[in-house]
Amino acid sequence: MLEASKAFSSYSVNDIEKAKQFYGNTLGLQVSGGPEGTIRVSEARVLIYPKPSHQPANFTVLNFPVENIENAVDELSKRGVRFEKYNQPELKTDDRGIFRGRGPVIAWFKDPAGNILSVLEQK
């Protein structure tokens, strides 16, 4: 039944115009208007919708696979993206915000609504 479905993700933001600027200008993604005040992020197959009582998730809602994480972090940092830094026993990032522990090499950042996104290296 669902094998032919084109699944996509969706999540809320508290300010749709800030989201449109961030995803379109800062991240350089193709953003278009969706139904009833939503926006679509074409490359990521994401629908972002406004929600006045938005509460950001405390987990990653969207991952961007990249070939070289250092290059991605450098480029996004130049565009004003601030990467999260963690110093926990099981989760330590370097001074640039890159985690090189168990699992993929990954760096997390937030959109203007506090949603957690990441770039993760896939070779």
Q: How far apart are CA 71 and CA 30, in angstroms?
A: 20
Q: Write out pLDDT tens, residues 45-96.
A: 899 999 999 999 999 999 999 999 999 999 999 999 999 999 999 899 999 9
Q: What is the pTM of this model?
A: 0.90
Q: Write out pLDDT tens, residues 21-52.
A: 999 999 999 999 888 899 999 878 899 999 99
- Quote the distance between the C-alpha of residue 25 and its chain's center: 14
Contact 107, 63 (CB under 8 A): no
